[in-house]
Structure 1
Amino acid sequence: MSTDFEPRAVELLVSRICHDLVSPVGAINNGVELIDEMGPGAGQEALTLIADSAEAAARRLRLFRFAFGAAGGHDGLDPAQARLTVEGWFRGGRVRVDWQADLPAPPPRGLLKLLLIAALLADEALPAGGTVRIVGEGAGLSLLCSGRNAGLREETRAALAGEIAPADLSARSILGYAALRFGHLHAIRIVATTENTDDIRISLVPAEV
């Protein structure tokens, strides 16, 4: 399979990124509007809203930059940064991260980038909240996602398995497709398995394993 991204896939991926940034950026704008309306009397509440939302936007941008940008290349991302980035994405939300991975040094090329994309899949797989336990498995990693009704959408699973053509991609399937393509680029298999109704495992398996 080619590792090129078709224009349709690029459009959907950019739309997904923008969608995930709308909430914190919008909250910043709301805080600024509150200050404009109330002046100095807006108080600490507006300033706290702006500060918290700006931090959330920065954490999301950091993950997107490493997961989908050149900054996440083999020399641009180390295990400590990857851990901080993953934990930052989930901070303050309904999903808790339990990091138990002892990453190989150096990790296989592309593994950390794929870890960040897998973290987005794990977040999507836990709509009601839960826990993501990240463990090492040989030269690879697994994300063990536990929570009520845990599971990936059928569209995501199909895209991850290479069963959706680029022309048929949607906002619901683009993340699985991106994971598949970046996996091919770095020779890392991404396997999602359902262990029961409340548990799903997302494994990253380098080709040499």
Structure 2
Amino acid sequence: MTVYALDALDLAALLCSRVCHDVISPVGAIVNGLEVLEDEKDAEMRGFALDLIKKSAHTASARLQFCRLAFGAAGSAGASIDIGDAEKVARGLFAGEKTQIDWRAPRVLMPKNQVKLILNLCLIAAAAIPRGGVITVIVDGDAERSPRFSVTAKGANAKLASHAPALLAGTPEGAVDAHGIQAFYTGLVARAVEMRLTVATDSDFVAIEAIAEFAEARDLAAAAV
């Protein structure tokens, strides 16, 4: 199977577009709120504007903190990240949203690309339940030698985008655009940490599992004995 190769500059540009898409809405709301404060004299409207600014600032901050871990170069090359930090930014991202997060992971240090993988899987899960629901994150196995990640989205009419499996596998049909870059990037990260992604769907849930390839090979060998 030939994996699609995306030019490094195109990858950087598309990821930047993805991050900007996430933060432009709350930042725009802050600007609108400030314009109301500048022109409005009514106390009630000014209070509404201040509330809008406060909520939008919290949203923008939460999204930027999440993106810093999910896409950015948090730490130096080869650095480990406390998975508790990943839980914190994930909960911050979904705070006040229709989607809740059920985080079931030990608080350990993990290689940063494994942490990126977990957070990106959370984004894919959230996109599968636009009406809201519950995202369950499970991390088990040996964190250093044979980790296993499971991210499940459960909600009404849960559905994975039709092009997502191919993007995760690195075999998209046609060019990768700004709409597909996040799933494509998730696949890149999974292959970088030598983990294989599997997808299962039903009428009310989407589940994505990441298994260390060497651990999978060991399990198959044990089963054959």
- TM category (shorter chain) comes to 0.7 to 0.9
Relative distance call for 1:63 and 1:57 in structure 2 (3 A) is: same
Alpha-carbon offset, residue 95 of structure 1:
0.7
Q: 2:89 aligns with which of 65, 69, 85?
A: 85
Q: 1:147 aligns with which of 148, 155, 158?
A: 155
Alpha-carbon offset, residue 28 of structure 1:
0.5
Alpha-carbon offset, residue 24 of structure 1:
0.7
**Alignment pair present for 1:71 and 2:74:** yes
Mapping for residues 153-164 of structure 1, pairs under 5 Å: 153-164=161-172
Partner of 2:218: none
Q: 2:18 aligns with which of 16, 19, 37?
A: 16
Relative distance call for 1:3 and 1:141 in structure 2 (3 A) is: farther
Q: Is the 8 A contact 2:199 2:207 kept in 1?
A: yes
Tell me the distance in 1 between the aligned counterparts of 2:129 and 2:182. Answer: 15
The structure with the larger Rg is 2
Partner of 2:197: 190
Q: Is the 8 A contact 1:3 1:181 kept in 2?
A: no
Give the alignment's TM-score, normalised by structure 1. Answer: 0.88
Give the residue type in structure 1 aligned to 2:37: I
Tell me the distance in 2 between the aligned counterparts of 1:204 and 1:193. Answer: 12
Tell me the distance in 2 between the aligned counterparts of 1:129 and 1:119. Answer: 13
Q: Report the secondary structure of 1:33's partner residue.
A: helix
Partner of 1:124: 127
Q: 1:200 aligns with which of 202, 206, 225?
A: 206
Q: Is the 8 A contact 2:91 2:101 kept in 1?
A: yes
Q: Is the 8 A contact 1:159 1:176 kept in 2?
A: yes
Relative distance call for 1:116 and 1:84 in structure 2 (3 A) is: same
Give the residue type in structure 2 aligned to 1:59: A
Alpha-carbon offset, residue 206 of structure 1:
2.7
Relative distance call for 1:46 and 1:40 in structure 2 (3 A) is: same
Partner of 1:30: 32
Relative distance call for 1:86 and 1:142 in structure 2 (3 A) is: same
Give the residue type in structure 2 aligned to 1:16: R
Runs of 4+ off more than 4 Å = 1-5
Count of residue pairs the alignment pairs up:
206
What is the Cα-based RMSD across aligned positions, in Å? 2.3
Alpha-carbon offset, residue 204 of structure 1:
2.3
Q: Is the 8 A contact 2:80 2:112 kept in 1?
A: no
Q: Is the 8 A contact 1:65 1:72 kept in 2?
A: no
Partner of 1:107: 110
Give the residue type in structure 1 aligned to 2:208: I
Tell me the distance in 1 between the aligned counterparts of 2:156 and 2:121. Answer: 19
Give the residue type in structure 2 aligned to 1:129: G
Q: 1:176 aligns with which of 169, 183, 194?
A: 183
Q: Is the 8 A contact 1:3 1:182 kept in 2?
A: no
Alpha-carbon offset, residue 108 of structure 1:
5.0
Q: Report the secondary structure of 1:149's partner residue.
A: coil
